[in-house]
Amino acid sequence: MFMKIRKLFVAATLLALASLFFGWQSPVASARQPKILEFDTMVGNTQAFTGDTNPIRGINGGGLPWSLTSAKGELKTNGRLEINVQGLVLAAGPNAGSNPIANFAAIVSCLTGDGDVLNVATGTFPATTGPASQGGGDAKIETVVSLPQPCIAPIIFVTSPGGAWFAATGN
């Protein structure tokens, strides 16, 4: 009986040391942040929203329509933002079907508790260039943004480095 208890003690000690060494956390220690928004789709900018025609919450659209193959992501209450887009490319013009932009950015747009619009921009993140059929327009962002409390009715945009939107949450 003493040997069994001793073996369990040694095993528990080794597990505790391994978790410290490798940075493991128990599920209780790493409480999950609630999600404000989780999405499995985005919509590309259409002709009706290009340039300064019909800005959404003060954000202008890209100069040409855009389309995308797929998108997914989530926004958590602590501001953690993850977006994964595939095939985000121009839908019109001489480069239709291709992405000529090497970096995208994102904007999280919230309504504040006072009803004001607050748009929070990320830094840029790499995007693949070229035709969607060859992997162009793929990008992933993982960052943390500073959200207002509360963040009401969030909209997430994938944008140019200058802030013109190419895709937004929706379908």
The answer on pLDDT for 46 being more than 80 is yes
- The answer to whether residues 144 and 154 belong to one domain is yes
- The answer to whether residues 27 and 78 belong to one domain is no
Residue 159 tokens, joined: 């944008």
What predicted TM-score, i.e. pTM, was given to this entire model? 0.81
The answer on pLDDT for 163 being more than 70 is yes
CA within 13 Å, CB half, 49: 21
- The answer to whether residues 128 and 84 belong to one domain is yes
- The answer to whether residues 103 and 138 belong to one domain is yes
- The answer to whether residues 121 and 131 belong to one domain is yes
Percent of the chain with pLDDT over 70: 82
pLDDT 10s digits, 49-70: 999 999 999 999 999 999 999 9
- The answer to whether residues 16 and 95 belong to one domain is no
Give the H or E element holding residue 20: helix 2-22
What's the rounded mean pLDDT across residues 38-42?
98
- The answer to whether residues 42 and 10 belong to one domain is no
Q: How much is the pLDDT for 30?
A: 42
* Banded pLDDT at 40 (limits 50, 70, 90): very high
* Banded pLDDT at 110 (limits 50, 70, 90): very high
- The answer to whether residues 100 and 127 belong to one domain is yes
| Buried b / exposed e along 4-16 (16+ C-beta atoms within 10 A) | eeeeeeeeeeeee
- The answer to whether residues 20 and 66 belong to one domain is no
Question: Domains in the chain: how many in total?
Answer: 2
What's the rounded mean pLDDT across residues 150-162?
97
- The answer to whether residues 37 and 47 belong to one domain is yes
Q: How much is the pLDDT for 31?
A: 60
What's the CA gap between 2 and 8, in Å, rounded? 10
Q: How much is the pLDDT for 32?
A: 86
Residue 163: give the domain boundaries. Answer: 33-169
The answer on pLDDT for 23 being more than 70 is no
Helices (H) and strands (E) in the chain, counts: 1, 14
What's the CA gap between 54 and 167, in Å, rounded? 14
- The answer to whether residues 136 and 100 belong to one domain is yes
- The answer to whether residues 55 and 72 belong to one domain is yes
* Banded pLDDT at 9 (limits 50, 70, 90): very low
